[in-house]
Chain A
Amino acid sequence: MKLKESLLSRRQLITGFITGGLAWLAAYTIYPVAGFLFHKKKIPLPRAVTMSRAEVDMLAPNSAVYFKYGRLPGVLLKTDTGQLRAFSAKCTHLDCIVQYKPDTKQFYCACHEGYFNDTGINTAGPPPRPLDVFELKEEGDKLVLSFQEHNGKTA
């Protein structure tokens, strides 16, 4: 059956072509530009880092040292009793680096007054969860520190 009238006016057709063309052009421009701008370099975390026995022994009881774990800052704590614990030094609130306070045996974050106890549990202030914990293993005269990134919590 032939329609008497066209369903589409010439004007609509041309407008459609122009808009379509422009949309196509925009997509072709935006796609590579966005890809370029949002590229991020993926630097995988190391599987483990090691510290020598001597280094660890030098550490006084009830004190802490920082260490580098790829792009993550870590902190190694030696308690009064000589026990070793390692945490990610990044505050779980907004990623400031925490410091150990020997007098109160706490990790303190100066950015917004956040506190964690010496097992890394958040005790006061804004931090929402405990510090991330490193696994410690002794291998010969080396201390092996390793860290599992869990479900994207740690940037």
Chain B
Amino acid sequence: MFNVKKEINERIGLDAIVSLARKKMVPMHRHSAWYYMGGLLLFLCMIQGLTGIMLLFYYKPSAETAYQSIAEIMVNVPYGWLIRSVHHWASNLMIVAAFVHFFSTFFVKAYRRPREITWLTGMALLVVVLFLGYTGYTLPFDERAFFALNVGTDMPGAIPVVGKYMLEFLRGGENVGPQTLNRFFALHVGLLPAALLLIVGVHLLLVQLLGMSVPVSILKKAEAEKKEIPAKPMFPHLLWHDVINCLLLLGLVVTLAVIMPSELGLEIDYLKPAPEGVKPDWFFLWVYQILKWLPTFIAGIEGEVVGIVGLAIAACIIALAPFIDRRSQRGELSPAFTILGIVSLLVFVICTLIGYFS
């Protein structure tokens, strides 16, 4: 009889892949819970891909039609409000999960040798996810979107030399106008998802090749006690854990979507002044808050420029942590970088909270 599995196996050696997956062990220790974050992120990516494509069935990406088509989705298309709200909430949770994944990886110093490239791809993914979130907010082309577009595209304008060109490139002109929407649409459904897929592919491949990283403290303890670190097979044990996590997460996303459906603001009015207390999306609030605190001029340079350049340098230091953090590289504890992580986390959380409540 014709055996599909055998035929495929003969051609592409499926068995090798399966046995590789079976061999994969996941170390179990008190920081193991953080390993699940990646799986959750992947699941959120899938939700976003599917609901995003669904929304494209009805969304009309042009300045004249975008707002109306979203209204149509929210009111007339069956369950349109649900699909859009799921997309909205999954995106927010994705950003939360991405930050948790980022900070937890940083704290356990999983970026150390040989996982430097995995870390760098992860940083790139964080950036892509943030930009996906930002560009997504602008697509309904309502009032909120208008101010987000204005302020957001203004920021790169503060960068010396190239800033002006970046600003005009993003806006498609000197000012935010109908043409800007098409650019952001292209970024949100074209460039950024393609980049995401590609980098996620590399990221996952590296995770598979290199296995899970074990924190230095756990390694040291096991060494001292001359004990082996217990491990569980990825397949099927931890896969089931992942499935359960994903189901719970799906429940959370849908619950949030039902209780707090996403909104649609007022229609865009190019002449309307910015409303009082206009703020960016929560995941950029910390940047907003820091920039707000800076004086107009610092040593003769515009405060905003100093702020943006400063933040960029800080981001670079964190991104290059595996190359700067020599102690971790040697397999030693590295309290300096733990402190750097704690400070960054505190700045992030506190500035976000202040930005939110002020």
**Do they bind each other?**
yes
Q: Hey, which bits of chain A sit against chain B, CB under 8 A?
A: 25, 32-33, 35-37, 39, 41
Beta-carbon contact of B57 and A37 below 8 Å: yes
Partner of A32, one of B57, B83, B247: B83
A94, chain B: closest CB distance, angstroms:
24
Question: How distant is the Cα of A33 from the Cα of B80 in the complex, in angstroms?
Answer: 9
Interface centre among A32, A33, A36, A39 (most CB of B within 10 A): A36
Beta-carbon contact of B54 and A36 below 8 Å: yes
Residue of B nearest to A31 (CB): B79
Beta-carbon contact of A37 and B82 below 8 Å: no
Q: Hey, which bits of chain B sit against chain A, CB under 8 A?
A: 54, 57-58, 76-80, 82-83, 247
Given contacts A33-B79, A37-B57, 5 further A-B contacts (CB under 8 A): A35-B78, A35-B79, A36-B54, A36-B80, A36-B82
Q: Which residues of A contact B77 (CB under 8 A)?
A: 36, 39
Can you give 26 contacting A-B residue pairs, CB < 8 Å?
A25-B247, A32-B78, A32-B79, A32-B82, A32-B83, A33-B54, A33-B79, A33-B83, A35-B78, A35-B79, A36-B54, A36-B57, A36-B77, A36-B78, A36-B79, A36-B80, A36-B82, A36-B83, A37-B54, A37-B57, A39-B58, A39-B76, A39-B77, A39-B78, A39-B80, A41-B76
A110, chain B: closest CB distance, angstroms:
32
Question: How distant is the Cα of A35 from the Cα of B79 in the complex, in angstroms?
Answer: 7
Interface majority SS (helix, strand, loop, mixed), chain B: loop
Question: How distant is the Cα of A25 from the Cα of B79 in the complex, in angstroms?
Answer: 16
Q: Which residues of B contact A25 (CB under 8 A)?
A: 247
Question: How distant is the Cα of A36 from the Cα of B58 in the complex, in angstroms?
Answer: 10
A50, chain B: closest CB distance, angstroms:
29
Residue of A nearest to B77 (CB): A39
A38, chain B: closest CB distance, angstroms:
8
Residue of B nearest to A35 (CB): B78
A113, chain B: closest CB distance, angstroms:
35
Question: How distant is the Cα of A24 from the Cα of B58 in the complex, in angstroms?
Answer: 28
A36, chain B: closest CB distance, angstroms:
5
Q: Which residues of A contact B54 (CB under 8 A)?
A: 33, 36-37
Q: Which residues of A contact B58 (CB under 8 A)?
A: 39
Q: Which residues of A contact B82 (CB under 8 A)?
A: 32, 36
Q: Which residues of B contact A32 (CB under 8 A)?
A: 78-79, 82-83
Question: How distant is the Cα of A32 from the Cα of B83 in the complex, in angstroms?
Answer: 8
Residue of A nearest to B83 (CB): A36
Q: Which residues of B contact A39 (CB under 8 A)?
A: 58, 76-78, 80
Q: Which residues of B contact A41 (CB under 8 A)?
A: 76
Question: How distant is the Cα of A37 from the Cα of B57 in the complex, in angstroms?
Answer: 8
Q: Which residues of B contact A36 (CB under 8 A)?
A: 54, 57, 77-80, 82-83
Q: Which residues of B contact A35 (CB under 8 A)?
A: 78-79
Q: Which residues of A contact B57 (CB under 8 A)?
A: 36-37
Interface centre among B57, B79, B80, B83 (most CB of A within 10 A): B79
> What 5 A-B pairs come out closest when comparing CB atoms?
A32-B79, A35-B78, A36-B79, A39-B77, A35-B79
A106, chain B: closest CB distance, angstroms:
40
Question: How distant is the Cα of A37 from the Cα of B247 in the complex, in angstroms?
Answer: 23
Residue of A nearest to B57 (CB): A37
Question: How distant is the Cα of A36 from the Cα of B87 in the complex, in angstroms?
Answer: 14
Question: How distant is the Cα of A55 from the Cα of B77 in the complex, in angstroms?
Answer: 40
Question: How distant is the Cα of A35 from the Cα of B57 in the complex, in angstroms?
Answer: 13
Question: How distant is the Cα of A55 from the Cα of B76 in the complex, in angstroms?
Answer: 39
Residue of A nearest to B73 (CB): A36
Question: How distant is the Cα of A41 from the Cα of B80 in the complex, in angstroms?
Answer: 13
Question: How distant is the Cα of A32 from the Cα of B57 in the complex, in angstroms?
Answer: 15
B285, chain A: closest CB distance, angstroms:
32
Residue of A nearest to B82 (CB): A32
B90, chain A: closest CB distance, angstroms:
14
A79, chain B: closest CB distance, angstroms:
43
Residue of A nearest to B72 (CB): A41
Interface centre among B58, B78, B80, B82 (most CB of A within 10 A): B78
Question: How distant is the Cα of A32 from the Cα of B257 in the complex, in angstroms?
Answer: 13
Question: How distant is the Cα of A33 from the Cα of B57 in the complex, in angstroms?
Answer: 12
A74, chain B: closest CB distance, angstroms:
27
Question: How distant is the Cα of A41 from the Cα of B57 in the complex, in angstroms?
Answer: 12
Q: Which residues of A contact B78 (CB under 8 A)?
A: 32, 35-36, 39
Question: How distant is the Cα of A33 from the Cα of B76 in the complex, in angstroms?
Answer: 14
B257, chain A: closest CB distance, angstroms:
11
B256, chain A: closest CB distance, angstroms:
15
B170, chain A: closest CB distance, angstroms:
32
Question: How distant is the Cα of A87 from the Cα of B82 in the complex, in angstroms?
Answer: 43
B109, chain A: closest CB distance, angstroms:
38
